Amino acid sequence: MRIVFVIDKIEFKYFEINELVTSFWLIKESLERGFEVCITTMDKLFLDNNKPKAFLHKTSLINSGEKQDMVYDKKNFIACLNDFDLILFRPDPPVTMEYIFATYILDFIDKSKTKVVNNPQGIRSANEKLYINNFPELTPESITTSNTSLIRDFVHEHEEAVLKPLNRCFGKGVYYLKKGDKNLNTIIDSETNSGETPVIVQEYLKNAMNQDKRIIVIGGEVYDECITKLSGKEDFKFNTHEDKFFKKTDLSDKERAIGNKISSKLKEDGLYLVGLDVMDEKLIEINVTSPCFFIKEINAMFNVNLEKRVVDYLESLVISK
């Protein structure tokens, strides 16, 4: 099988076996199966008339003492993406115009020859903060707007809220808002660029402290393996990828029902690799761009090889296309 991973620029710069990066787990597993794996970044995609092409780098595993290192050939080559079996598009947000244009290039891939995961049209339609509004009965109350007065009114009504930018990840730009806080107006004005940039503001879930669960959905299947992401002592949100900030956990019946209820919609939209964020049994985000599956932590906690199951599924997608 021939695979292209479109990865983040920082991952390309420091390309190695990094156990914190989901894409690297999947690349290593693919190489161990004898697949041909190439890597590229968004800026190296282009259209030659209507043919989607890219500057690619071949990857390989080399023995280094008792372990294997993952390397790539520094010399690139140009190839048509239609000549590959699978394209995995996994750059991290922010979702900029460069990001959107990259998905447009992927639209020109011949779907009868090559599978693209996640589907570029699906990615464009599934903003990670707004897509949850397709399932309002599963989510906390929210408002999405650039209007500063509406945001202040929402905070006054709910007394506590969480403000999030619409195109970022890893908790960047996420703020806790509280009625009566002297910095409230400053935060709102700053994050909306004085009423020019839309944000989403969700009610603060009072029982959500240390209940930030990542639910993995692969090909519409809700996985049993689940972890809770813990917040730091001086923060209300998870933002540190260290072992002490993860806890093995089980899915409640309601959380499993959330995953099952939206799984068919995800698959219909071509969103095959997805991470759901659930707090206090409420759906707060649907991660579709480059969802982290916390493979290192899940493998250790549940004694599984999650990367093998994911690549098994990707291989089945190619076989069935």
Percent above pLDDT 70 for the chain: 95
pLDDT reading at 21 higher than 70: yes
pLDDT reading at 238 higher than 80: no
Percent above pLDDT 90 for the chain: 84
The domain defined by 207-287+291-304 carries CATH number 3.30.470.20: yes
Q: Which of 84-93, 133-142, 171-180, 277-286 has the lowest mean pLDDT?
A: 171-180
Q: Which CATH number is correct for 141-203, 3.40.50.1970, 3.20.20.70, 3.30.1490.20, 3.40.640.10?
A: 3.30.1490.20
Q: What is the pLDDT of residue 168?
A: 80
Alpha-carbon dihedral sign for residues 261, 262, 268, 272: negative
pLDDT reading at 234 higher than 70: no
Residue with token string 């990707």: 314
Query: What residue spans define the domains of the chain?
Result: 2-122, 141-203, 207-287+291-304
pLDDT reading at 315 higher than 80: yes
Architecture of domain 2-122: 3-Layer(aba) Sandwich (3.40)
Q: Which of 125-134, 236-245, 305-314 has the lowest mean pLDDT?
A: 236-245
The answer to whether 18 and 27 are in contact (CB under 8 A) is no
- For residue 216, give the nearest of 81, 310, 116, 319 by alpha carbon: 310
Q: What is the pLDDT of residues 58-88, one digit of tens each?
A: 999 998 777 888 999 999 999 999 999 999 9
Q: What is the pLDDT of residues 150-194, one digit of tens each?
A: 999 999 999 999 999 998 876 778 999 999 999 999 999 999 999
Quote the mean pLDDT of the chain.
93
pTM here? 0.93
Q: How confident is the model at residue 220 (pLDDT cuts 50, 70, 90)?
A: very high
Q: If DSSP codes are grouped into helix, strand and coil, which group holds residue 89? A: strand
* Rounded average pLDDT over 212-218: 95
Q: What is the pLDDT of residue 244?
A: 67
Which residue blocks in the chain are alpha helix, DSSP H? 9-13, 22-32, 97-106, 120-125, 148-158, 184-191, 253-268, 295-302, 306-320
Quote the crossing angle between the two packed helices 184-191 and 148-158, to the nearest 10°: 140
* Rounded average pLDDT over 224-237: 76
pLDDT reading at 8 higher than 80: yes
